[in-house]
């Protein structure tokens, strides 16, 4: 993530010292600088489960209630974009078979559309806060990524079939990604 920003905000009629932490998930967590307590509520929300036998992904993740996420956190085939109808159709066909259940969808063998992607969300360059205007300036990325788990026994064949894809073996794990 980007480095945090130390500032003050007007909240419930008082000037509150805060630390604002931007995340690659597109969230801004606003915490009281002296106590660490969230200024705006943070909720634990259910997130998609892993479909890999024996893998236990976290059942919930923290979501700040305010401000809203600054980037989309889900992309479905119906939202596919293309310069032409043929491009849109191709994009929909690529997205349709993938897991795309929203933010925190775990990687899978069939492929997972990761939104925001590994370079998505709030950019690691950081955010700026214009105190006089009460304005936070945040560079965002709206790139998605495709993550696919490949059984270790199939990695060599997968790399031959898809030489243009980055494939990481993940030594000691049952899958490459």
How many whole angstroms separate alpha carbon 64 and alpha carbon 43? 6
- pLDDT-derived band at 142, boundaries 50, 70, 90: confident
Q: Given pLDDT bands bounded at 50, 70 and 90, which one contains residue 170?
A: confident
Strand partners, 175: 151
Using the predicted structure, report yes or no on whether residue 120 has a pLDDT greater than 80: no
Q: Phi and psi dihedrals of 157, rounded to 5?
A: -65, -40
- Of the candidate ranges 2-16, 36-50, 57-71, 112-126, the one whose mean pLDDT is the lowest: 112-126
Instruction: Please give the average per-residue pLDDT across 170-176, as a whole number.
Output: 91
Is the C-alpha dihedral spanning 160, 165, 170, 173 positive or negative? negative
Average pLDDT, the chain: 92
pLDDT score recorded for residue 1: 72
What single-letter DSSP state applies at residue 69?
Answer: P
Q: Is the pLDDT of residue 100 over 80?
A: yes
Rounded CA Rg of the chain = 19
Tell whether omega for the bond before 42 is within 30 degrees of 0, i.e. cis: no
pTM above 0.75, yes or no: yes
């Amino acid at each position: 993530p980007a480095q945090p920003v130390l500032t003050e905000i007007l909240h419930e009629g008082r000037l509150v010292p805060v630390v604002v932490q931007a995340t690659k998930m597109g969230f801004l967590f606003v915490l009281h600088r002296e106590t660490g307590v969230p200024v705006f509520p943070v909720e634990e929300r259910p997130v998609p489960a892993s479909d890999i036998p024996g893998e236990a992904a976290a059942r919930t993740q923290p979501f700040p209630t305010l401000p809203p996420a600054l980037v989309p956190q889900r992309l479905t085939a119906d939202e596919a974009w293309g310069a032409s109808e043929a491009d849109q159709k191709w994009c929909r066909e690529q997205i349709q078979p993938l897991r795309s259940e929203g933010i925190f969808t775990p990687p899978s063998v069939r492929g997972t559309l990761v939104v925001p992607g590994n370079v998505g969300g709030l950019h690691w360059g950081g955010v700026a806060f214009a105190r006089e205007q009460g304005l936070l300036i945040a560079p965002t990325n709206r790139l998605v990524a495709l993550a696919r788990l490949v059984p270790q026994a199939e990695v060599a064949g997968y790399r031959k079939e898809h030489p243009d894809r980055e494939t990481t073996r993940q030594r000691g794990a049952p899958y490459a990604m």
